[in-house]
Amino acid sequence: MSKASERLAELGVTLPPVPKPVAAYVPFVRHGQLCILSGQVPIRNGTVAYTGQAGREQSLEAAQDAARLCAINAIAVGAEAAGGVDRIERVLKVVVYVASANGFTEQHLVANGASNLIKDVFGEAGAHARVAVGVAKLPLDATVEVDVTFVAAP
């Protein structure tokens, strides 16, 4: 089975640089093998690429793309936390928050945008526990925010 770095290349996914800490919190904290990440929003080149609520400003498909972008950003941070993307041993948990218009109840399908990318990159090691919820609003009006916990190789 190919390595995560090889699969990223096959998928044409380039991991973005990890933002430097600008506030009292940090992109990740290590605790033993656990890599605890800060929430990731769908930022691309410094700009939030998907804003507004799923079911209103964003379609299901666009919200799935937003979730995929959040997951890419999370993998970039996880790679830094683990000492390289190929040192990520397991994706433990993914919580997906979806800014949702009233009546929108397909948060699980939005979350698949993140889950499928993670599975594509990590294979069996990417099979994670998941929570998907619909929230009112997210920071910077982001459509999706994901909260990922990785296990790094010892």
Q: Which residues bind a copy of itself (CB under 8 A)?
A: 21, 23-29, 31, 34, 36-39, 90, 92-95, 97, 99-100, 102-108, 111-112, 115-116, 118-119, 126-141, 145, 147, 149, 151
> First vs last Cα of the chain: how many Å apart?
21
Closer residue to a copy of itself, CB minimum distance, 11 or 26: 26
Q: Indicate the DSSP class of residue 147.
A: E
Distance CA 54, CA 44 (A): 19
- Minimum distance of a copy of itself from residue 84's CB (angstroms): 19
- Minimum distance of a copy of itself from residue 26's CB (angstroms): 5
- Minimum distance of a copy of itself from residue 120's CB (angstroms): 8
Contact between residue 108 and residue 132 where contact means Cβ atoms under 8 Å apart:
yes
Closer residue to a copy of itself, CB minimum distance, 9 or 26: 26
- Minimum distance of a copy of itself from residue 53's CB (angstroms): 9
Bridge partners, residue 69, by sequence: none
Centroid of chain to Cα 129? 13
Closer residue to a copy of itself, CB minimum distance, 82 or 99: 99
Distance CA 17, CA 45 (A): 9
Closer residue to a copy of itself, CB minimum distance, 53 or 85: 53
Enclosing H/E stretch for 4? helix 4-11
